[in-house]
Chains A and B, each alone.
Chain A
Amino acid sequence: MEKLFVYFLQIWHGVGFSLTLLAGGFFVGITLGTILAITRYTRFRFITNQVITLVRSTPLILQVSIIYFAIPGALGVHLNVLTAGIIAFGINSSAYVSEILRAGIESLPRGQFEAAQALGIPKYYTWRDIILPQVVSNVLPALVNEIIALLKETSIISVIGGTDIMRRAQITAAENFEYFTPLCIAGFCYYVLVVLIEFIGKQIAKRTCHYHAKN
């Protein structure tokens, strides 16, 4: 039992790193993703589509490696593991977030854009106050799904030496020549975090979807 507790403490230290990576990655992802989703409705749509296709067609492990090893080498700058991870996960997530938002935008009646135009609302305010609040409310479950997927993908950070939950579990296992318990603890940590994210998602949905007919 004491061994289990020691293992748990060692692996739990990785939770903070994983969550920081998740929060940073999702912040970058939702910001870039929103910009990409909106630019799809401008004359830059071709470039936006190419960027999204490029990001979605390459593996995340390759993107992380390029941002941590290749780009700093080419530009002569140094990025720490966390920064490189946030950038890589953020860019990767932005492509998926933009697709989720696009689906949400296309599900809105065209009349909402026209009503805003007829009322003389400038485009910036139309997106900020009329379209995006409705879109986010409609696609919240899909966004929560993206956050959960991103949390699980953060385990890839171990390829560039990040000590997240998974890496901590591997270190603990290697040090003690025992794999079963540390890996089960890592799985439990991810499970608890996902349940927590789902709970927060549901609470936000309750607050933001109050105007839907079903409520």
Chain B
Amino acid sequence: MLKIRDICKSFNGVKILDRVNLQVETGGILGLAGPSGCGKSTLLRCIQKLEIPESGSIEYDGKAGFMFQDFQLFPHMTVMQNLLYVPNLKSKQRKKQEHQAIAVLKNIGIESKKHDYPVTLSGGQKQRVALARTLMTSPDILLCDEPTSGLDVATTDDVVQLLKSVNRVDLNSFGNFQKQTVTMVIASHDLDFLTKISDRIVLLKNGKIVADIKPSNFDDQIQLLKGYYL
């Protein structure tokens, strides 16, 4: 379970997060919605410890993996090298890790690109490689920052299916991972995308949670949520 208590964070005197409280059940998919600058990315960065909150606490078991909005693949490494770099640093079981990486690439449909450099990939393919690289670290929590930004409608649907499969399908199919469920926190300004993928949507505005909607209420409250963007 991910527990966030009274998180505050400011940049240059401007409050970005203002006493945010949140709990996400293990295996849940939380959508973080809100207009640009509302604090979605900052909250994810605080969970990943890329930013240090001024007050409050963030607790979770295991480790978090982060998918950046602009992917941040290592451009001087091939797809395979991007996937294997961290596992190779941590363990010497190279053959096993290689099989695991190939299994992951197969599952996300880009095995044929394993020897390519990121610069030759499309946005959707980079997104998949970024996801695969994060999965290779066996995260307990997957933090996705605007995973569909800059992607077309068809690729966005692919991303929805992909993230759902990572969360719901037995991860053994992703190459003998031991963990069965991954908790996800997905930040996006695209409400339609979040509606398709999330178990729950939280709306942030001016650093505060202004709405918290469960799936049963999605249809009724989606218009209300959209209203908060105005």
A134's partner among B64, B75, B85 (CB-CB below 8 A) is B75
By a CB distance below 8 angstroms, the chain A residues around B75 are 134, 211-212
CB-based contact B50/A133 at 8 Å: no
Specify which chain A residues have a CB less than 8 angstroms from the CB of B74 in the assembled complex.
112, 115, 130, 134
Q: Is A121 an interface residue (CB 8 A)?
A: yes
Q: Which one of B23-31, B65-73, B179-187, B207-215 is at the A interface?
A: B65-73
Contacts of B63 in A (CB 8 A): 120
How far apart are the CA atoms of A119 and B89 in the complex, in Å?
11
**Which B residues from 31 to 81 make CB contacts under 8 A with A?**
48, 50, 63-66, 68, 70, 72-76
> Is A137 interfacial (CB 8 A cutoff)?
yes
Q: Chain A: how many interface residues by the 8 Å CB criterion?
A: 21
Query: How far is A212 from B117 in the complex, measured between Cα atoms in Å?
Result: 9
Q: State A130–B133 Cα separation when bound (angstroms).
A: 15
Indicate with 1 or 0, residue by residue over A203-215, a CB within 8 angstroms of chain B CB atoms.
0000000111100
- The answer to the question of B169 belonging to the interface, with a C-beta cut-off of 8 Å to chain A, is no
**Quick check: is A59 within 8 A (CB to CB) of the other chain?**
no
Which residues A132-147 have CB closer than 8 A to chain B? 133-134, 137
Instruction: Report B176 CB to chain A, min CB distance, Å.
Output: 20
**Which of B68, B119, B134, B137 meets A213, CB within 8 Å?**
B119
Separation of A103 and B70 alpha carbons in the complex (Å): 22
Contacts of B50 in A (CB 8 A): 114, 117-118
Q: Does B22 contact A (CB under 8 A)?
A: no
| Contact indicator B86/A119 (Cβ below 8 Å) | yes
When C-beta atoms are compared, the residue in chain B nearest to A134 turns out to be B76
Residues of A within 8 A of B48 (CB): 118
Measured between alpha carbons, how far is A129 from B86 in the docked complex, in Å? 11
Interface status of A76 (Cβ within 8 A of chain B):
no
- Nearest-CB residue, chain A, relative to B49: A117
Chain A residues, Cβ within 8 Å of B137: 119-120
- Majority secondary structure of chain B interface residues (helix, strand, loop or mixed): loop
C-alpha gap A31/B124 in the complex (Å): 40
**Which residues on the B side are within 8 Å of A111 (C-beta)?**
68, 70, 72
Residues of B within 8 A of A69 (CB): none
A125 at the interface (CB under 8 A from B): yes
Closest to A211 in B: B117
Is A121's CB under 8 angstroms from B119's CB? Answer: no
* Nearest A-chain residue to B48, judged by Cβ: A118
Given the contacts A109-B70, A109-B72, A118 and B85 also touching, CB distance less than 8 Å:
no
Taking the closest CB of chain A, its distance from the CB of B78, in whole angstroms, is 9
Q: Are A210 and B117 in contact (CB under 8 A)?
A: yes
> Contact string, A184-201, partner B, CB cutoff 8 A, digits 1/0?
000000000000000000
Which A residues touch B66, using CB under 8 A?
115, 118
- CB contacts (< 8 Å) of A121 on chain B: these are 85-86, 89
Inter-chain contacts of A212 with B (CB < 8 A): 75, 119
Contacts of A211 in B (CB 8 A): 75-76, 117-119
Proximity bits, B117-138, A CB within 8 Å = 1, else 0: 1110000000000000110010
Q: In chain A, what residue has the closest Cβ to B74?
A: A130
Please, what's the 1-or-0 string for B65-109, where 1 marks a CB less than 8 Å from any CB in chain A? Answer: 110101011111000000001100100000000000000000000
By the criterion CB–CB under 8 Å, are B85 and A129 in contact? Answer: yes
Q: A125 to B64: give the CA distance in the assembly, Å.
A: 20
Whole-angstrom CA separation of A58 from B5 in the bound complex: 56
CA distance A112 to B207 in the complex (A): 26
Residue of B nearest to A214 (CB): B119
Chain B contacts of A119 at CB under 8 A?
A: 65, 85-86, 133-134, 137
In the complex, what's the smallest C-beta–C-beta distance from B147 to chain A, in angstroms? Answer: 15
- CB-CB under 8 A from A114, the residues of chain B are 50, 68, 72
14 A–B pairs (Cβ distance < 8 Å), ordered by A: A111-B68, A115-B73, A115-B74, A118-B50, A118-B64, A119-B137, A120-B86, A120-B137, A121-B89, A129-B85, A130-B74, A134-B76, A137-B76, A211-B117
Q: A119-B86, A213-B119 given. 17 additional CB < 8 A pairs?
A: A109-B72, A111-B70, A111-B72, A114-B50, A114-B68, A114-B72, A115-B68, A118-B48, A118-B64, A118-B65, A121-B86, A121-B89, A125-B89, A133-B76, A134-B75, A211-B118, A212-B75
